[in-house]
Amino acid sequence: MRKSLTVIIFLLLTGFSQLLLANPKLVPVAPDIPAKAYLLIDQESGYILASKNMNERIAPASLTKLMTAYVVFYELKSGTISLKDQVKISEKAWRMKGSRMFIEVNKRVSVEDLLKGMIIQSGNDASVALAEHVGGDERAFVTLMNKHAESMGLKNTHFANSTGWPNPNHYTTAHDLAHIAMALIRDFPEYYPLFKIKEFTYNHIKQYNRNRLLWLDDRVDGLKTGHTESAGYCLITSAKQNGMRLVSVVLGTPSDNARASASRALLDYGFRFYKTFALYKAHEPLAHRRIWKGKTETLPLGLERTLYITAPRGSRSKIKANMNIDSMIVAPAAKGQTYGTVNVMLGKQQLAQRPLVALNDVPEGGLWRKLVDNVLLMFK
């Protein structure tokens, strides 16, 4: 009897699994986690898999340091500073309270060590030292933080310092934090590995990365923890599995264990029920259209960036793409100029919409071509 019951349960579970893969509508709701706000998003497609209160303003605590790191990485890539720069530590940096890497006033510390102290140890002293080195003082550096936030299109974010120290004018959202993390991963792949370092020793003091998922989950390779009394326990995590990278933001949980468990639950949900794939490659001709009065008669149209789609597992065959292209295209055409859109649908749900652009320049044709096309257009 027990053996028969086991077989029946196995068949039921197997059948449900196959039905789930065949019918994407059966994707369950996201796990119920103890957080004030959260967001799970795919790095490549920007598709939001799960969210709660993602546009609600919160105090970001040390998650602020992601933007501090972004600005420093930007200056490193621009060549205005280098990892080997020796930074003289100010009294302000030395006196910072909260988490520290224990730098000493008037000593010189390399930018590389300060970055490790800020990212791995969440050092407020390191954050201020870096801000002063890049901006001259922290206040000037904060203006750079806000300008980068504006350029990213973050409408619900404003920084008042480089550390995350509580301030009424220092706020952001789960949505905006996710986009800061995604920009950091996308724009600075050469520096992103700093976020997966588990420990760092400075001044004979060894400290460990507060992101416990680095030890518990091999998929995880970043990013940052945060905690204050008002913000609660927060964690931004990035993980990669089978070529798919997800970013989770968990804000306002009651404990260190809770933020780790909540983040892992979101990642498990995303990797289990969704898949990301490249639908169309960048600069690949998706259509050729007649161009009038041009040096050539056809204009290739495509995408400037590879189009990634995130969708429920088993639904790829049900995804449909259609193109809306301008009915009349007349030379000259400039490479990158928009002549329509690509719309990707899963049933009635729009998964993506991207501009169709010219892949080549097409200059105006000669006098004879213009005369011929003018006549043809009269009959069109």
Write out pLDDT tens, residues 136-185. 999 999 999 999 999 999 999 999 999 999 999 999 999 999 999 999 99
Q: Which CATH class is domain 28-273?
A: alpha beta
Per-residue pLDDT, 26 = 75
pLDDT tens sequence for the chain (380 residues): 434 433 333 333 344 444 444 454 578 999 999 999 999 999 999 999 999 999 999 999 999 999 999 999 999 999 999 999 999 999 999 999 999 999 999 999 999 999 999 999 999 999 999 999 999 999 999 999 999 999 999 999 999 999 999 999 999 999 999 999 999 999 999 999 999 999 999 989 999 999 999 999 999 999 999 998 878 999 999 999 999 999 999 999 999 999 999 999 999 999 999 999 999 999 999 999 999 888 999 999 999 999 999 999 999 999 999 999 999 999 899 999 999 999 999 999 999 999 999 999 999 888 887 777 677 778 77
**DSSP labels, 284-327:** ---EEEE-BTBSSSEEEEE-SS-EEEEEETT-GGGEEEEEEE-S
SS3 223: strand
CB count within 10 Å of CB 259 equals 31
Give catalytic status of residue 230 as yes or no: no
Per-residue pLDDT, 369 = 76
Residue 272 near residue 53 (C-beta atoms within 8 A): no
Which residues touch 152 (CB under 8 Å, ≥6 apart)? Answer: 176, 179, 180, 183
Q: Choose the catalytic residue: 51, 122, 238, 261.
A: 122
Nearest-angstrom CA–CA distance, 296 and 292: 9
Q: How far apart are the first and last CA of the chain?
A: 77
Sheet containing 220-228: order of strands: 48-52, 37-42, 244-253, 232-241, 220-228
Domain 281-379 superfamily per CATH = D-Ala-D-Ala carboxypeptidase, C-terminal domain (2.60.410.10)
- Look at residues 191, 179, 151 and name the one whose alpha carbon lies nearest to residue 247: 179
DSSP assigned state of 27:
P
Per-residue pLDDT, 3 = 41
For the chain, the domains span: 28-273, 281-379
Q: Which amino acid is at 273?
A: F
Per-residue pLDDT, 344 = 96
pTM of the model: 0.88
Nearest-angstrom CA–CA distance, 180 and 281: 25
Predicted confidence (pLDDT) per residue in 327-364, tens digit:
999 989 999 999 999 999 999 999 999 999 999 999 98
Q: Choose the catalytic residue: 45, 65, 224, 261.
A: 65
Residue 273 near residue 44 (C-beta atoms within 8 A): no
Give catalytic status of residue 3 as yes or no: no
Q: Choose the catalytic residue: 62, 99, 261, 263.
A: 62
* Three-class SS of 231-265: CEEEEEEEEEECCEEEEEEEEEECCHHHHHHHHHH
Give catalytic status of residue 122 as yes or no: yes
Nearest-angstrom CA–CA distance, 373 and 72: 55
Per-residue pLDDT, 25 = 54
Per-residue pLDDT, 23 = 52
CB count within 10 Å of CB 39 equals 27
pLDDT, mean over the chain = 91
Per-residue pLDDT, 16 = 40
